[in-house]
Amino acid sequence: MSMDDREDMEPMKLTTLAFFGTSSCTPVEDNDTACFLINGHVLVDCGWAAGLTMLRRPEYDATMLSHVLLTHCHQDHYMGLASVLFYRAMQAARIEGDPRLTVAGPAEDIERIVDLTLDFIMAERLGERCPRPTILPLEPGDGLRAEELDITTVRTRHAVPSLAYRILDMDTGVEIGITGDTAYMPELARFFSGVDHLVTEASTGLNDPSPDNDAGHQSVLQAARLGKASDAENVSIVHTDLTRRDEFQAAAREICRAAYFPWSGDQHNLEDRSADPY
Ligand SMILES: [Zn+2]
Ligand SMILES: [Zn+2]
């Protein structure tokens, strides 16, 4: 291939996965709780302060969001929705096209959480700068489209109704799986089989929770086992005690060599699967 050919080529299409929050249920300095951004416009979970986290990273922009997907309605996953909606209201003049976000999540809780959030920020005083989002209640097994992303869902085992998401970028063929909070469910490996990047939780550290524990969380070792069984190319383990990151990563890699513990601000660029490498 000559340099001229190279210059004529379109830039390689990428699927981007940015980590805004990877801490356990309390944020640590410069790292929010669960919060991830795909292709710059789909936010999965909102941590405590997604709007603020995005402001601190000028390469991202909350006015570009099309969708927010909540895995479940625990506070460390939904509180940041208030900051996202308020920021967008403040920046309403910059939003092109339909200003309404779509907010999707477990059917049992999603409408209540969105309406409570709008009440909390007193959206009625913000008027048309803060339109009520389009709310999409999801039952396990439901699918949705977010522009180029085709998304499927499955129930996880957690203390409140919760969903895991498998997200296919139809422009690149790249697939991302996000478990949200869950007890160890070996059967999730089938749902996530062959994804390019699996994001899963390890809230209980190195200790496997007892099987009768109904909090619904995984250990580091269980997260690594799920990653290996899913045959995911990359396995990000999140929602854990990051002060023990090195120790956890060593233990996880004994089971799953792809295991990695990302930090807020990390971004993975996943290349177009159909691209010809030559
Ligand atoms: Zn959580
Ligand atoms: Zn939770």
**161: CA distance to ligand 2 center in Å?**
9
What's phi and psi for 60, nearest 5 deg?
Answer: -115, 160
Alpha carbon of 22 to ligand 2 centroid (Å): 13
118-176 confidence digits (pLDDT tens): 999 999 999 999 999 999 999 999 999 999 999 999 999 999 999 999 999 999 999 99
| Nearest ligand, measured from the Cα of 106 | 2
pLDDT category at 277 given cuts 50, 70, 90 is low
- pLDDT of residue 44 exceeding 60, the answer is yes
| 213-220: long-range pairs with CB below 8 Å, 24+ | 213/183, 214/159, 215/159, 215/183, 216/156, 216/157, 216/158, 216/159, 216/162, 216/181, 216/182, 216/183, 217/158, 217/181, 217/182, 217/183, 218/182, 218/183, 218/184, 219/184, 220/248, 220/251, 220/252
Distance (angstroms) between ligand 1 centre and the Cα of 203 equals: 8
Query: Closest by alpha carbon to 166, among 174, 177, 158, 156?
Result: 177
Quick one: which ligand is closest to 34's CA? 1
Return residues with CB closer than 5 A to ligand 1 (ion): 76, 181
- Give the model's pLDDT for residue 212: 74
In the reported structure, the alpha carbon of residue 197 is separated from the centroid of ligand 2 by a whole-number distance in angstroms of: 21
Ligand 2 center–CA 268 separation, angstroms: 24
Mean pLDDT across the chain? 93
Proximal ligand: closest to the CA of 239:
1
pTM for the full predicted model? 0.94
What's the gap in Å between 45 CA and the centre of ligand 1?
10
Q: Is the predicted pLDDT of residue 87 greater than 60, yes or no?
A: yes
Confidence of residue 52 (pLDDT cuts 50, 70, 90): confident
Q: How far is the CA of 117 from the centre of ligand 1 (A)?
A: 18
Among the bound ligands, the one closest to the CA of 159: 2
HEC per residue, the chain: CCHHHHHHCCCCCEEEEEEEECECCCCECCEECCEEEECCCEEECCCCCHHHHHHCCCCCCHHHCCEEECCECCHHHHCCHHHHHHHHHHCHHHCCCCCCCEEEEECCCHHHHHHHHHHHCCHHHHHHHCCCCEEEEECCCCEEEECCEEEEEEECCCCCCEEEEEEEECCCCCEEEECCCCCCCCCHHHHCCCCCEEEEECCCCCCCCCCCCCCCCCCHHHHHHHHHHHCCCEEEEECECHHHHHHHHHHHHHHCCCEECCCCCCEEEEECCCCCCC
Q: How far is the CA of 254 from the centre of ligand 1 (A)?
A: 25
Give the pLDDT confidence score for residue 252 in this predicted structure: 98
